Amino acid sequence: MKDVAARAGVGLKTVSRVVNAEPGVTPDTERRVQEAIESLGFRRNDSARVLRKGRTASIGLVLEDLADPFYGPLSRAVEEVARAHGALLINGSSAEDPSREQELVLALCARRVDGLIVIPAGDDHRYLEPEIKAGVATVFVDRPAGRIDADAVLSDSFGGARSGVAHLIAHGHRRIAFIGDQPRIHTAAERLRGYRAAMADAGLAIDDSWVSLGSTAPERVRDAVAAMLAAPEPVTAILAGNNRVTVTVVRHLATCERPVALVGFDDIELADLLGITVIAQDAAALGRTAAERLFRRLDGVHEASRQVTLDTSLIPRGSGEIPPAG
């Protein structure tokens, strides 16, 4: 920095102001300093800045699965907010494993991230209490924290599923199936609750064979659909609990002669071209809202933990408007 100051003919404080984008420097002086920085190849010493401020200008994002298309826009939105605050984003995947989630979260804390955004795999986050007390700002997204009080940003899974089933009922369906993720997962449980509420609203009984929760592996979902369609009184419509379930259901229904209505939870690529009716979440809004909440905490805003719920939207494209066969 001394070399930059000497080359530009200014003091060290002026160079510091330019490097840190602080006010109080004339355009001509800023130009001379920037030219000196470029000619000397100067790079800011972030380690020294961290020691002075006690912050690392980095945040961690723990996702369920980096390969899941749902998390792409969410991660990008978090990164954009972090970038606007001069922070680096470090992310990793829990693979829906609670122990791996804990391992990853604590590894990020050990590297002194300033804050965390977590899509939880587990239902007990008391392991985070010492880190939160030590000043690590934490926001949960898509699912709430378990057994601790923490900020959370969620989609309205219950309301979205309820509206999707009500849509199928409005198009004449009475035997409607729900195929979802593991029942321990908050979003799966909420979507099942929404399904049951819509059926109850219409005075429709639910046969146990119409509900299937478990792994989203294609083989498991395919078997569930096949069993429901082979029953003496087959279902005429399906609510798919997430994007991975929807993809497998679409592939199986393409092999069936009898038309079956479908509403999928989460939008998927090419759904508009394939005519798939979906309940869409705004993944980017989830990520942006969570990140903005996190940086409010990091900026020193002290307030009670809040749970923010974002609306979903039903997008009719054809598959959810197919009338009951026969």
Domain boundaries along the sequence of the chain:
2-44, 52-155+283-310, 157-282+314-321
CA distance 60 to 114: 8
pLDDT band, very low/low/confident/very high, at 263 (cuts 50, 70, 90): very high
Asked whether residue 50 carries a pLDDT value surpassing 60, the answer given is no
Tell me the pLDDT of the chain averaged across its residues: 94
Please tell me the predicted confidence (pLDDT) of residue 41: 81
Integer angstrom CA distances of residue 8 from 19, 41, 74, 225: 13, 14, 43, 72
Q: Do domains 52-155+283-310 and 157-282+314-321 have the same CATH topology?
A: yes
Does residue 48 have a pLDDT over 80?
no
Query: Contact at 8 Å (CB) between 211 and 177?
Result: yes
**Is the separation of the CB atoms in 198 and 165 below 8 Å?**
yes
Tokens standing for residue 268:
């998927």
Does 59 have pLDDT greater than 90? Answer: yes
212 alpha-carbon distance from chain centroid = 24
CATH code at 2-44: 1.10.260.40
The average pLDDT across 299-308 equals 94
Looking at residue 42, its pLDDT comes to 79
CA distances from 184 to 179, 208, 241 (A): 14, 18, 14
Answer positive or negative: Cα dihedral of 47, 51, 53, 55.
Answer: positive
Q: How far apart are CA 261 and CA 176, in angstroms?
A: 9
pLDDT of res. 203? 98
- For the CA atoms of 240, 241, 243, 246, the dihedral, rounded to the nearest 10 degrees, stands at -20
Q: 157-282+314-321: what fold? A: Rossmann fold (3.40.50)
Residue closest to 175 by CA, chosen among 226, 212, 228: 228
Q: What is the pLDDT of residues 129-183, one digit of tens each?
A: 999 999 999 999 999 999 999 999 999 999 999 999 999 999 999 999 999 999 9
The number of angstroms, rounded, from the C-alpha of 30 to the middle of its chain's C-alpha atoms is 41
Pick the CATH number of 52-155+283-310 from 3.90.79.10, 3.40.50.1820, 3.40.190.10, 3.40.50.2300: 3.40.50.2300
- Read off the pTM: 0.86
- Residue 6 backbone phi and psi in degrees, to 5: -65, -45
Q: Which pLDDT does position 320 carry in this prediction?
A: 98
Quick check: 96 pLDDT over 60? yes
Which of 59, 42, 118, 123 lies closest to 295, judged by CA?
59
